[in-house]
Structure 1
Amino acid sequence: MTIYLAREASKVWRKVCAETTTELPLLREKWPLLLAGIVFQYIHGLAARGVHYLHRPGPLLQDLGFMALPELGQDKNYLSECTFVFIFFSFFLWTFHPFIYHSKRFYTILIWRRVLAFLVASQVLRIITFYSTQLPGPNYHCREGSNMATLPPPNNVLEVLLINFPRGVNLGCGDLIFSSHMIFTLVFVRTYHKYGSKRFIKLLAWVMAIVQSLLIIAARKHYTVDVVVAWYAVNLVVFFVDTKLPEMPDRSNGSPLIPLSNKDKDGRPKDEKDVRLKDEFHKLLNGNHGDPTDRRQRVQMNGRHPEEDMSSMLSDATPNGT
């Protein structure tokens, strides 16, 4: 048993090393875009923290979702977060499966570059929206009478920049339209729907997205409008951004990594080098080893070419075999 585990662990390690070698050139080329997407996640959190200072609690707005769905209550409020955490980490682990599994359809670096582009575009719209109008938060800690509904003015800039992570992220108020949880959920589900291979998991992912929507409303974390707007806004954003980004290479047919540069090690463009090699090949076939620009007229001597004189001299110098 120990020998079997050691052998399997060795196979997995070799796959991880091989995939790392493949992904590193992509990381060296795409790291500025990946870093920008990750940094923007902090900017999005900072914006959500800032709008909390502007939030003013008030009576709950009339909401059809609140009328249709029973309230979970504070003791079952965790169900919504547990569902989101399951979706998030399931997608995160799936994007790294090329490092372990033999069958793979995409490169991890490229798919996260795409996902971060979807997230950033959606979050920019979200920041503009919730700063335009601040609604009274429906969550329990955002209602009237809660000491967390409104934040006191910050004592210094550092207090704002640190965004009270992670407590400030989970207990924010005012960042309502539209739901950040649904941004991540829909981006992940749409990405798996396009690049995933299991039809059952695709169906399950959409069901989980619907369940997540209902739990958010039942937990009173968002109004129904926040979830509804997220459903069509995120889908439209993903559709638009996806058409603008270059399509990722499909690895399911075993094709090698696409070239990252059109130059060889010597700095010469590959197209130019290919043309040069073809010219040299044709020269060898035609017996012309000289410079193709050297097309001097051959001088005839006594009506014959020098090559003919040379061949006749060699034939005369050869003794007869009789």
Structure 2
Amino acid sequence: MDEIAFIKITMYLAREATKLWRKIATETALEVQILLEKWHLLLLGLIFQYIHGLAARGVHYLHRPGPVLQDLGFMILPELGRERSYISETVFTVIFLSFLLWTFHPFIFHSKRFYTVLIWRRVLAFLVASQMLRIVTFYSTQLPGPNYHCREGSELATLPPPDSVWEVLLINFPRGVNYGCGDLIFSSHMIFTLVFVRVYHIWLW
């Protein structure tokens, strides 16, 4: 009896694996066809992510630390503290990876509501528009950074003049991304989070 049950389970798993593979192959063929038509805009969106990082790196050279400005948000919700600063990055990483995986679920599940290439095309379009506004704001209005590494007395608060153009172009990734200063007014993390949550809400419901 156990052998018969094992054979049935094996046959069932084999059938489902075949269906899943067929589904993945079909979706991949469709997505590749769309990608060949839309790759120009996707590439431009990805290139602008680097430009945005380059702009944030550039404004760090202009940053001058000063007293932490009063902020209603900090009054209502106290700071996490230096020892728990990782919580913010952890939450953002979970949101980012969850959204990334969700956009690829049509390759596996049958409840298809969008094409992955097209949804990332729209996401990148919104990110680029928001980041363009962000670049304008943090170059036109420079404020002292409230983060611990941006405050007075921190070695990371200001950057010495670059030794070469490559030092600027390479944006000191990933350290330069995690320890940037001066790119304030509205948060890059918040841009990504709001765009991801809004897209998820629209396409899920």
TM range (shorter): over 0.9
Q: Could you tell me how far apart the structure 2 residues matched to 1:95 and 1:129 are?
A: 31
Q: Does 1:130 align with 2:138?
A: yes
Q: Could you tell me how far apart the structure 2 residues matched to 1:152 and 1:51 are?
A: 12
Q: Does 1:20 align with 2:28?
A: yes
Deviations 1:264-289 (A, max 9, x none): xxxxxxxxxxxxxxxxxxxxxxxxxx
Q: Does 1:153 align with 2:161?
A: yes
Q: Does 1:79 align with 2:87?
A: yes
Residue matched to 1:96: 104
One-letter amino acid of the counterpart of residue 35, structure 2: L
Q: Could you tell me how far apart the structure 1 residues matched to 2:112 and 2:45 are?
A: 24
Q: Does 1:46 align with 2:54?
A: yes
Equivalences for residues 112-261 of structure 1 within 5 A: 112-197=120-205
Deviations 1:114-173 (A, max 9, x none): 000000000000000000011000000000000000001000011101001011001000
Q: Could you tell me how far apart the structure 2 residues matched to 1:24 and 1:70 are?
A: 47
> Against the structure 1 CA distance between its residues 18 and 141, is the aligned structure 2 distance closer, same or farther, given a 3 Å change threshold?
same
Deviations 1:210-248 (A, max 9, x none): xxxxxxxxxxxxxxxxxxxxxxxxxxxxxxxxxxxxxxx
Pairwise CA distance, 1:5: 4.5
Structure 1 segments unaligned to the other structure (5+ residues): 198-322
What RMSD over aligned residues (CA atoms) do the two structures have, in Å? 1.3
Pairwise CA distance, 1:68: 2.0
Q: What is the identity percentage for the equivalent residue pairs of Structure 1 and Structure 2?
A: 77
Residue matched to 2:3: none
Q: Could you tell me how far apart the structure 2 residues matched to 1:141 and 1:6 are?
A: 55
Q: Could you tell me how far apart the structure 2 residues matched to 1:106 and 1:84 are?
A: 24
Q: RCO higher in 1 or 2 (8 Å CA, sep ≥ 6)?
A: 2
Q: What is the TM-score of this pair, normalised by structure 1?
A: 0.59
Pairwise CA distance, 1:12: 2.0
Q: Could you tell me how far apart the structure 2 residues matched to 1:126 and 1:67 are?
A: 24
Q: Could you tell me how far apart the structure 2 residues matched to 1:84 and 1:10 are?
A: 36
Paired residues, number: 197
Structure 2 segments unaligned to the other structure (5+ residues): 1-5
> Against the structure 1 CA distance between its residues 5 and 76, is the aligned structure 2 distance closer, same or farther, given a 3 Å change threshold?
farther
Residue matched to 1:32: 40
Residue matched to 2:75: 67
Q: What is the TM-score of this pair, normalised by structure 2?
A: 0.92
Secondary structure, counterpart of 1:72 in structure 2: coil
Q: Could you tell me how far apart the structure 2 residues matched to 1:38 and 1:107 are?
A: 18
Comparing 187-196 with 143-152, which one deviates more in the overlay?
A: 187-196
Pairwise CA distance, 1:9: 3.2
